[in-house]
Amino acid sequence: MPNPALYDMNLADLEALLRDWGQPAFRARQIYRQLYVNLVHDPALMTDLPSRLRERLATETTFDALRRVRTQEADGGTTRKAIFALPDGAVIETVLMIYPDRATVCVSTQAGCAMGCVFCATGKRGLLRNLSTGEMVEQVLWASRELRHWQDAGSGLQDADDRRDDGTRWWADAPIPVRQISRVSNIVFMGMGEPLANYDRWWAAVQRLHDPQGFNMGARSMTVSTVGLADGIRRLAHEGLPINLAISLHAPDDALRSALVPINEHFPLADLLAATREYTALTGRRVSFEYVLLQGRNDHPHQALALAKLLRGHTAEGADRGVPLLCHVNLIPWNPVPGSPLGRSEHLRVAAFQQVLLDYGVACTVRVERGGEIAAACGQLAGGHAA
Ligand code: SAH
Ligand code: SF4
């Protein structure tokens, strides 16, 4: 029997383990605090525990399941990608993005992905396996420690290579002094994999990270991105924890969407949008639609108009009696994937697409990318097996 993985346990599990070991319940809470508040991952450093208990933890449980193979930096050190090897040799990636007023970690939920979207590096490799809850939680704890080290090393943004193209410094209009970002402030489940295809483990990770007795991440500071698994969206609508939902749409009609996102065959647009409407009706929350722009494929103005009509609830015949979806569109210029014949939409086409949506009354922004040169941007996380 392998040792139980500590990061796979919630507080109740930890209390049960400690009870088995004949320890009082408060010891479990001490350990939980060390793990999720103090971010300690070495039992030897849990100095508030008796040394016998520390030894037992070291020999009879597993702390880190993720072995860091490499860390890569970009954007003057403010984008940091970790490559982790899992015990079975699969490889996943986690990205920490540090901004003047916040720090966001992008978490992988699967090693690889089964969905096979044609524009995505992760999808090209297929699914190796689901990540465990602990493996997702550990990525966030790594990012938290990484942020702390980065701050302690004095590598505040003022020292970074931080000039915009026009020579101004991008942190200059920061609302608070940069060094005050003391913790990871946002978690996005947008790394490798499809979170809703690993629903139970992923949701347990959300709950763990949210737990006010532990890591205490606000629900509104967490975002999940899904390829559009309508059944998972319906399930999420009933969870009662208001995390943000982003849905990868990428096309305004079924023919094109099925060509780009094969799972559309199982959850066609009508089903997906019905599930989304159920979600907004039940939660009162606005969803984001992500739309990767591929030159000449899905970025024509008539496609922008079709998208706008779809989201405003209008029919092709032009009736304006539809009920608009409570939503926002996030346009993502495609990040190149080696060997792909697809192309990234030119700036002017992106702007024109956005304008059509705005003119039609659909809120729409263009995502500012990070980490392109270290393949840390959306859809560039490829992973694979450790060498
Ligand atoms: N599987 C989930 C979450 C991971 S992908 C999903 O598909 O939503 C996170 C986001 O990156 C998705 O919106 C996805 O469509 C987008 N993406 C994938 N490949 C991309 C690429 N090469 N360039 C830009 N965005 C990409
Ligand atoms: Fe999987 Fe998302 Fe990539 Fe599609 S875009 S292959 S769902 S990770």
Domain boundary residue, one of 16, 44, 60:
60
**118 and 202 housed in the same domain:** yes
**295 and 362 housed in the same domain:** yes
**120 and 17 housed in the same domain:** no
**92 and 211 housed in the same domain:** yes
**137 and 44 housed in the same domain:** no
pLDDT in the model for residue 152 = 81
pLDDT in the model for residue 24 = 94
Ligand 1 pocket residue status of 279, Cβ below 6 Å:
no
Residue nearest to atom 8 of ligand 2 (CA): 193
Q: Calculate Rg over the CA atoms of the chain.
A: 22
Domain boundary residue, one of 21, 36, 60:
60
176 residue type, one letter: I
**139 and 181 housed in the same domain:** yes
Q: For residue 118, which of 266, 24, 257, 286 has the smallest C-alpha distance?
A: 257
- Does some domain include residue 369? yes
pLDDT in the model for residue 387 = 37
**49 and 96 housed in the same domain:** no
The two three-digit tokens of residue 366, written as one number? 């263009």
Domain range for 149 is 67-374
Count of domains observed in the chain: 2
pLDDT in the model for residue 186 = 97
Q: How far is the CA of 316 from the centre of ligand 2 (A)?
A: 29
**88 and 172 housed in the same domain:** yes
Per-residue pLDDT reduced to its tens digit, 320-374: 557 889 999 999 999 999 899 999 999 999 999 999 999 999 999 998 877 777 7
Q: What is the mean pLDDT of each run of 10 residues along the chain (387 residues)?
A: 92 97 96 96 95 96 93 92 94 94 96 96 90 98 94 62 54 51 92 98 98 97 98 97 97 98 98 96 96 98 97 70 88 93 96 97 90 72 55
**23 and 125 housed in the same domain:** no
- Does some domain include residue 270? yes
Per-residue pLDDT reduced to its tens digit, 61-115: 999 989 999 999 998 889 999 999 998 989 999 999 999 889 999 999 999 999 9
- Does some domain include residue 260? yes
User: Is there a contact between 109 and 128 (Cβ–Cβ < 8 Å)?
Assistant: no
Determine whether 93 is an active site residue: yes
- Does some domain include residue 382? no
Residues contacting residue 5 through CB under 8 Å, at least 6 positions apart:
61, 62, 65, 132, 134
Q: How far is the CA of 117 from the centre of ligand 1 (A)?
A: 9
Determine whether 364 is an active site residue: no
CATH of the domain at 147: 3.20.20.70
Ligand 1 atom, smallest distance to 224 CA? 3
- Does some domain include residue 384? no
3-state DSSP call for residue 205?
Answer: helix
CATH of the domain at 47: 1.10.150.530
3-state DSSP call for residue 143?
Answer: helix
**240 and 99 housed in the same domain:** yes
- Does some domain include residue 317? yes
**94 and 170 housed in the same domain:** yes
Residue nearest to atom 26 of ligand 1 (CA): 379
pTM recorded for the entire structure:
0.92
- Does some domain include residue 385? no
- Does some domain include residue 158? yes
**14 and 71 housed in the same domain:** no
Q: How far is CA 312 from CA 269, 292, 308, 358, in A?
A: 14, 20, 6, 12
Protein residues with CB under 6 Å of any ligand 2 atom: 113, 115-117, 120, 122-123, 193-194, 227, 248, 379
Ligand 1 pocket residue status of 120, Cβ below 6 Å:
yes
